[in-house]
Structure 1
Amino acid sequence: MRLLIVEDEPKTGAYLRKGLNESGFVADLAATGLDGLDMALELDYELVVLDVMLPGMDGWTLLRQLRASKDTPVLLLTARDEVSDRVKGLELGADDYLVKPFDFSELVARIKTIMRRGKARNVDTVQLADLEIDVFKRKVTRAGRRIELTAKEFALLHLLAKRPGEVHSRAMIASQLWDMNFDSDTNVVDVAIRRLRAKIDDPFEKKLVHTMRGMGYLMEERD
């Protein structure tokens, strides 16, 4: 099981790498956010242990850019225990959040829990009602009919469909798909949703993309 640690503090990074290697993992170490992002994108890691406070590129930015193209599980490490930070991390796509200082045994336990969940969700296809998404071939069909999507439309569809019933805020969608901070005056997310609906929902009787007023968007099958 190959892991990536992104930690700029040398002693902490060495401690984590040594401990995880001794716990049966194969752990690589990156000391900057840029190096961590390059390694996470180029290599196939089963999980990334990511420090939030990093030089050059912080953990939030790294996570946002990673989520634009890969679904590698991420465990965030931070010295801050603010609820807003935990919510931000989870909205950006983190799988768990651990506050420093922490007990090493808890870190290992959380990693194993995430990886068990990851094996269950890391599938080649996503199915919702009569909609099928082939993640690796980037092929979408509904009721047997092929649907052509742009790269952004596919990323938006996959983001919503892989977690059916979960509301995605406009801010989270904007940060993950456009690498931008959401501005209430910006309608880029709403426009993207309308275009996706025109292809995924409008030609069909049953609608899958739904709006939660004041909250965001979700996909689910409704009677």
Structure 2
Amino acid sequence: MTSILVIDDDTNILNLVGVTLRENGFHTYKATDGLEALELLMRSTIDLAIVDVMMPKMDGYTLTKKIRETYDIPVILLTAKGELYDKERGYTAGTDDYIVKPFEPKELIFRVQAVLRRYDKPSNYVIQLSDVKIDKRNYEVQIGKQHMLMPLKEFELLALLASRPNQVFNRDYLIETIWGLDFEGDERTLNVHIKRIRERLDKLTSAIEIVTVRGVGYKLEVTP
């Protein structure tokens, strides 16, 4: 499920955008200022950020720049300003789109879907980390000149962790994403799969490592 972070100090807008996104099948996180948003980005898996321009502590332009510096996710700026200069500042900061308040909920969804489609590029199907190549088109892992075939769930789990190196994925998110919301198992299933992936990787490479973050989940690190 695609996760979207909404940042706005106006709780009415925050709730409206959140409800609209959830009704259209998106998972949402909320923040009322830029500092709270950055904390959420550090500990959660976010696919897109919707950022209000006028906020306390950190304006939307600054937050967009900080997101761009660290995370490879699209940003949509949400603002009451519609002047060309403000749009120029937004695009210069790195935003992918710009929505002016007031807006129709349908317009928000159309723009979110359009931005996500632009990010779903063929290059995103191949992950290259040092000597490890993960090809999501044919479910193949290549390490150096060796090819490694993995069970589907192990491959999907490795690809998800590798899609964002050094980002911590919490256990619930991994289980819901890989096994689905209706999964009746528990964390032991996830732990067993992680153990098997580690064993496979240890035999062939030391370039990447899956690290346990106690009390939270797992992250994939690329070793120097």
TM-score tier (shorter): 0.5 to 0.7
CA gap of 1:122–1:64, structure 2 versus 1, over 3 A, is farther
CA gap of 1:99–1:43, structure 2 versus 1, over 3 A, is same
Distance in structure 2 (CA, Å) of the matches to 1:87 and 1:138: 40
Distance in structure 2 (CA, Å) of the matches to 1:69 and 1:121: 22
Query: What is the Cα deviation at residue 137 of structure 1?
Result: 4.5
Distance in structure 2 (CA, Å) of the matches to 1:54 and 1:18: 21
Structure-2 residue corresponding to 1:65: 66
Answering whether residue 23 of structure 2 is matched by residue 22 of structure 1, we say yes
CA gap of 1:81–1:37, structure 2 versus 1, over 3 A, is same
Structure-2 residue corresponding to 1:151: none
Which secondary structure state, in structure 2, belongs to the residue aligned with residue 68 of structure 1?
helix
The Cα offsets for residues 104-126 of structure 1, whole Å up to 9 and x where unpaired, read as 10000000000000111763779
Which secondary structure state, in structure 2, belongs to the residue aligned with residue 94 of structure 1?
coil
CA contact (8 A) 2:62 2:93 kept: no
Corresponding letter in the other structure for 1:99: V
Query: What is the Cα deviation at residue 15 of structure 1?
Result: 1.3
Q: What is the TM-score when the length of structure 2 is the normalising length?
A: 0.54
Distance in structure 2 (CA, Å) of the matches to 1:124 and 1:86: 31
Distance in structure 1 (CA, Å) of the matches to 2:99 and 2:117: 18
The Cα offsets for residues 86-114 of structure 1, whole Å up to 9 and x where unpaired, read as 11111211100010111110000000000
- Kindly, what percent of the aligned residue pairs are identical? 34
Distance in structure 2 (CA, Å) of the matches to 1:27 and 1:6: 11
Query: What is the Cα deviation at residue 44 of structure 1?
Result: 2.0
CA gap of 1:42–1:138, structure 2 versus 1, over 3 A, is farther
Number of equivalent positions: 131
CA gap of 1:91–1:34, structure 2 versus 1, over 3 A, is same
Corresponding letter in the other structure for 1:13: L
Query: What is the Cα deviation at residue 41 of structure 1?
Result: 3.5
Which secondary structure state, in structure 1, belongs to the residue aligned with residue 121 of structure 2?
helix
CA gap of 1:15–1:120, structure 2 versus 1, over 3 A, is same
Moved more, 103-112 or 7-16: 7-16
The Cα offsets for residues 8-63 of structure 1, whole Å up to 9 and x where unpaired, read as 11111111111111111111111111101221243221110110111111111111
Corresponding letter in the other structure for 1:67: R
Which secondary structure state, in structure 2, belongs to the residue aligned with residue 80 of structure 1?
coil
Structure-2 residue corresponding to 1:6: 7
Once superposed, what is the RMSD of the aligned Cα atoms?
Answer: 2.2
Corresponding letter in the other structure for 1:8: D
Unaligned ranges ≥5, structure 2:
133-224
Unaligned ranges ≥5, structure 1:
127-133, 140-223
